[in-house]
Amino acid sequence: MKGPLILSLLSICNAWWCTGHMLGAYIAQVELMQKYPSIYNTVQSILGPLNGDLTGNIANTLTETSCWADDLKVNKFNEANTLHYIDKPYNPQGLSIDPTPTDNIVWAISNFNNTLIASVTAPLEKSLALRFLVHFFGDIHQPLHDTTLFSYSFPNSDYGGNSFKIVYDENVNNLHKLWDSAIGMLETDLPRPLSSSSWETLDQLAQWYTGNYTREDLRYELQSKSLTSWTLDAYMLAIDYVYNGIEVGQTPSPEYVALARQIVMKQITLSGYRLTDYLVSALTPFTQVELYY
Ligand SMILES: *[C@@H]1O[C@H](CO)[C@@H](O)[C@H](O)[C@H]1NC(C)=O
Ligand SMILES: *[C@@H]1O[C@H](CO)[C@@H](O)[C@H](O)[C@H]1NC(C)=O
């Protein structure tokens, strides 16, 4: 059931678990270093002021800081929790339900985008904005950060799959955790700061993921820059692949697992490419673009 790179460690994160976040960010980090080194330098200089002790010595690179918004929760800072998702109701039985909260991940990304690109922002705010953005670019691609099920069994919703109990393994006992763990593929949180062997693990995974889903394969998805359409795409994936073919209390079938792993691989890879494209467009100085074109 588990690949050779997967160990069994308990994870306390509740978004793509840390390795999934780092994999998406690593894909972006490598693309920036290879194709846009000056943007990569800008990223590092924005991270700089909050590196080291200020972020617990575990968030010193674009890759490692992708888990920082979840580190906040571990550190009892829960004020930003609602910003990690936009749970659009999947309501096949037509129950009467409350409207979706507006302080959601789409709102958060657009506002942190404003902070990141503002010319007057102080280093603290810019660094925080970038760190949140890297994380939210991952979360928005996890279908259960875009969807919540309402039904007779879940009249108050299943909280993005968190209340939807399933049987999988000792760490994964609900649908949300199943998808956060990349369907068991990325269940182990690689310790940060990353060791050289953990960087190699990420590099191997990134090669597999980007090999299975190249930019060319995803060219259609990459044309869309609308956060709302990204969340709708993920919502459709939730209906077709997350909630389809599994009932409460079941163990996911091999068919479910195989399909779901493809979806996860695609979504994490897409999050990496989109993060690259976003950072290039956000951090290319406007005046410079005008001068050069
Ligand atoms: C960031 O803001 C710029 C300028 O308003 C806008 O063109 C761009 O679409 C925004 N990007 C995101 C991801 O919100
Ligand atoms: C696709 O991913 C699998 C691991 O899930 C890997 O074994 C395979 O080599 C990858 N394919 C490519 C073309 O990279």
The pick from 86, 105, 113 for probing ligand 1's pocket by mutation, whose C-beta has the most ligand atoms within 8 angstroms, reads: 113
For residue 99, the model assigns a pLDDT of: 82
For residue 102, the model assigns a pLDDT of: 85
Task: Report how far ligand 2's centroid is from the alpha carbon of 214 (Å).
Answer: 12
81 lines ligand 2 (CB under 6 A): no
For residue 11, the model assigns a pLDDT of: 39
Q: Where are the domains of the chain?
A: 3-283
Contact 201, 5 (CB under 8 A): yes
For residue 292, the model assigns a pLDDT of: 41
CA 266 to chain centre: 12
211 lines ligand 2 (CB under 6 A): yes
Looking at domain 3-283, its CATH class is mainly alpha
Mean pLDDT by runs of 10 across the 293 residues of the chain is 37 68 98 97 97 97 98 95 95 91 93 94 95 98 97 96 97 97 95 98 98 98 97 98 98 98 98 98 70 40
Report pTM. Answer: 0.93
For residue 15, the model assigns a pLDDT of: 57
The pick from 110, 231, 271 for probing ligand 1's pocket by mutation, whose C-beta has the most ligand atoms within 8 angstroms, reads: 110
Contact 201, 18 (CB under 8 A): no
106 lines ligand 1 (CB under 6 A): no
Which residue's alpha carbon is nearest to atom 10 within ligand 2? Answer: 208
Nearest ligand to the CA atom of 207: 2
Task: Report how far ligand 2's centroid is from the alpha carbon of 254 (Å).
Answer: 18
Task: Report how far ligand 2's centroid is from the alpha carbon of 183 (Å).
Answer: 16
For residue 100, the model assigns a pLDDT of: 80
5 lines ligand 1 (CB under 6 A): no
Contact 127, 47 (CB under 8 A): yes
What residues contact residue 126 under an 8 Å CB cut-off, 6+ apart? 46, 115, 116
